[in-house]
Structure 1
Amino acid sequence: MTQRKKAVTISPNSKLTFVLVHGAWHGGWCWSRVAGPLRDAGHTVYTPTLTGLGERSHLLSDSTTLQTFVDDIVNVLVWEDLRNVVLVGHSFAGLVISGVADAIPERLARLIYFDAFILDSGISTFDTLPAPVVEKLEAAASQAGTATPALPAPKPKSLGLTSPEDIEFVASRLTPHPLAAYKTALQLRQPQGNGLPCTYLHCNQPVFQAVAASSDWAKSQADWHWTTLASCHAAMVSDPDLVCEALLRLGSPESELP
């Protein structure tokens, strides 16, 4: 397994608590190259796997909705009694962390949308797609080879990965994604971010077009911080050192971010 590593340096007085939430088809495993160095630097890091994915793929069900994912992360915060958390959502999990912030903001310090989706309250992922695309995805979900309809995993190259080692690492671990999570929408009671400091981390080498509209929206918000990462959509796999540095910088309470 090849990875570009460098020493992660940090002030001894700046210990942080991260909860890193993976995107569609992934699991907590995708953060392994990031979580290790952060823990070695003295931080607390949780990498939960959402219901029906990764090592919890045996729980795949047609009742696994987007709200199920929000409940997964809320329960991690509550049962582990976590506070002052830097909550990071990658890709599809941008929707998840928005729901968590709406439900339990008092346990959070900051939100980091890591090349992530952002949708208005009441809008599902399928609502944003043309009808023929939705029909194609639903047809594919019915043929995924799972007991319940699920979206087949994409090829790792579509996530921007180029290294054979990285592609092999991801391809052997991706699992079908619960269809109902794409069909259901969050009902937010508060505006996006619920008043918490929010940062959008936009990966630009190459740009992942599926999240381009979300990135543009975040960039247009006066009270959000928007920044770039010179890596691909799956940067936690391809460039874990860059991701570690970005999370430490963006998550630090001493930062001058909004």
Structure 2
Amino acid sequence: MAAKEHFVLVHGEGHGAWCWFKLRWLLEGAGYHVTCIDLAGGGVDPTDPNTIRSFQQYDKPLIDLISTLPEGEKVILIGHGAGGLSVIHAMHEFVDRISQAFFVAATMLPFGFQADEDKKDGLPTLPENEIELTLGAGADDPPTTISLRPEFQRDRLSQQSPEELSVQQASKEMMKD
């Protein structure tokens, strides 16, 4: 019996591997190999987001995963939100290890962050009253993290999910594996 495809699911901003738990179960139930990854500072990854100073640092868990694949194995990448930028980064790093890539409501820049204009175009724009900035590098430096205020998270990130399906519940379900 031929091996089924290996899906690598990449979360978007403000999320972690937990957000893919329903899709993961469906794909695994159909016999596919599925890896849901927490990017640096996301989900249960222990990295303090205020210590991440580059996109390469943020994507390190994804890059490490793909670099350790067995010789000849290819993956299908799926990214949502800002995870699309991570998918593009991996596609450029590992042309020979990616069989397909899918972008689900994701940021797509053909070459990732190459210029200042890419950074402007590739980052989500949110009203200032809906976000909290952390100036982990100091008041004179750019913010190290931007997060949605809790009262806006459901409407902006999970408006189509049943209310009983909270982030905490999804996290617990993912950790059972």
TM-score when scaled to structure 2? 0.71
Flag structure 2 segments of 5+ consecutive residues without an equivalent.
137-142, 172-177
The answer as to whether partners of 1:84 and 1:108 remain within 8 angstroms in 2 is yes
Residue deviations 1:121-151 (CA, integer Å, cap 9, x gap): 424665138xxx68948x831389xxx8421
Match of 2:96?
106
Q: Secondary structure at the match of 2:34?
A: strand
* In 2: Cα distance, 1:58 partner to 1:114 partner: 26
Matched, 1:170 2:170: no
- Structure with more contact order per residue of length (Cα contacts < 8 Å, sep ≥ 6): 1
Per the alignment, residue 63 of structure 1 pairs with: 52
Q: For each residue in 1:72-97, what CA deviation from the matched residue of structure 2 results, as whole angstroms up to 9, or x when unmatched?
A: 21210122437221111111011111
- 1:151 aligned to 146, 153, 177, which one? 146
The 5 A counterparts of 1:23-172 are 23-81=12-70, 83-121=73-111, 122-123=114-115, 126-128=119-121, 136=128, 140-142=132-134, 149-153=144-148, 154-159=152-157, 160-161=159-160, 163-166=162-165, 169-170=166-167
What is the distance in 2 between the residues matched to 1:63 and 1:80?
A: 25
- In structure 2, the partner of 1:215 is none
Equivalent residue letter for 2:78:
V
2:139 corresponds to: none
Provide the alpha-carbon RMSD of the alignment. Answer: 3.2
Structure 2: distance between partners of 1:19 and 1:64: 24
Distance 2:96 2:115 in 1: 25
Counterpart secondary structure, 1:141:
strand
Bigger strand fraction: 2
Q: What letter matches 1:97 in structure 2?
A: V
1:30-68 CA distance string (max 9 Å, x none) = 111111221122111000100111111543234342222
Equivalent pair of 1:52/1:64 in contact (CA under 8 Å) = no
Q: In structure 1, list runs of 5 or more residues that go unmatched.
A: 1-11, 175-258
Work out whether residues 26 and 173 of structure 1, in 8 Å CA contact, stay in contact via their aligned partners in 2.
Answer: no
State the shift of 1:103 in Å: 0.7
- C-alpha distance in 1, partners of 2:31/2:169? 30
Identity %: 21
Distance 1:135 1:43, change over 3 A: closer
